[in-house]
Amino acid sequence: MTSIEQFLSLIHTEVGLELAVEDIDRGFDQVAGWDSLHLLTLITALEETTGQQISMPDVLQATKLADIYGLAAIS
């Protein structure tokens, strides 16, 4: 995962949500259309894209998309 834009594009194609860069720092409850179920879809997609397993408890504890981007970028 190299850029925020790629991350947002992945969310758009896999989860179906079109988000702006500023959305990733908002709390999930502030992101229109977000549902906790989307985390699972996103994890699967991120793992496929990066070829790395991402810590699911860390993702589930994330409060905003930026946290997940951080987890995916490190792994």
The residue ranges that bind another protein (CB under 8 A) are 12-17, 33, 37, 40-41, 44, 56-57, 60
**H-helix or E-strand spanning residue 9:** helix 4-10
Least distance from another protein to the Cβ atom of residue 47, Å: 10
Contacts of residue 27, defined as CB under 8 A and 6 or more positions apart, other chains included, come to 63, 64
- Cα-based torsion angle of the residue sequence 64, 24, 67, 6 in order, rounded to the nearest 10 degrees: 140
Least distance from another protein to the Cβ atom of residue 1, Å: 18
Least distance from another protein to the Cβ atom of residue 60, Å: 6
Residue (51 or 57) nearer to another protein, CB? 57
